[in-house]
Structure formats: C-alpha cells, structure tokens
Amino acid sequence: MVAYDGGVPSLGELERAVMGVLWEATHDLTARDVQDALADRELATTTVLTVLGRLERKQLVRRIRDGRAHHYRPVASREDHVAELMSDALDGASDRGAALARFLGSMSEDERKNLRDLLD
C-alpha cells in the first residue's frame, strides 16, 4: 500500500461519488452494489473496480475477500474524512488564525452556535 505523507489524498469527482455510496451504506458493498447505486452514470464494472482500487491505494477504502467476491468499506467515516481535509487545509495556511476567521465568517449563525456549544 502507498503511504500518503503529504496529507489527505485528493478525490476526483467519480471517487467522491463512490465514497458517498460507501459512506451511506449500512454494510460492506461489492463493486456491483456500488455500480447499481450509481446506475444513473451507466458505469462499466471495470470502471468501478478501477476507482475502488485507487481508493484502496489511497487508503480510503478497505477491501475484504469473501469467498470469490470482494467487499469494500470506507476506512473512516465521512465526518472523519472532512475533519482531516479541514485540518490539512489549515496546515497549509500561512496564517491559521486568518484562515479560521474567514471560515467562521462563512458559517451560518446556527453553525457558529453549534460550534460554540461544542467548544463549551
């Protein structure tokens, strides 16, 4: 497996769609399950398998062998992934305080209240 020391790996549009399906699932999925969930895109099975393989190399997906089939599950929750992205973005800012201030400025009053509650 490839280690990603440079932060959270970026995701392409199709990778985000596949991760969305995996994050919404209540159990491990096969490539066919993912393909069916994205039926509106008319993806070939090989395309889905390629994307799942990329996500596995990026250490975002775990592949589990079940007999002849493989099942896939996300390594972390969507919320964990978003938190890592936010942390990675802040690490890249030359002025963390200014970046946080701009981020807070973009939040709704309800989101800021929620954040205040979490901090208390």
Q: Are residues 105 and 67 in the same domain?
A: no
Average pLDDT over residues 17-36: 97
For 36-61, the pLDDT digits (tens) are 999 999 999 999 999 999 999 999 99
CATH of the domain at 59: 1.10.10.10
Same domain (yes/no): 57, 90? no
Query: Are 69 and 17 within one domain?
Result: yes
Number of domains in the chain: 2
- Percentage of the chain modeled with pLDDT above 90: 78
Residues 31 and 68 in one domain: yes
- Alpha-carbon distance of 44 to 59, in angstroms, equals 23
**Residue 100's domain spans which residues?**
78-119
Are 54 and 89 within one domain?
no
**Would you say the pTM of this structure is higher than 0.85?**
no
CB of 48 closer than 8 Å to CB of 103: no
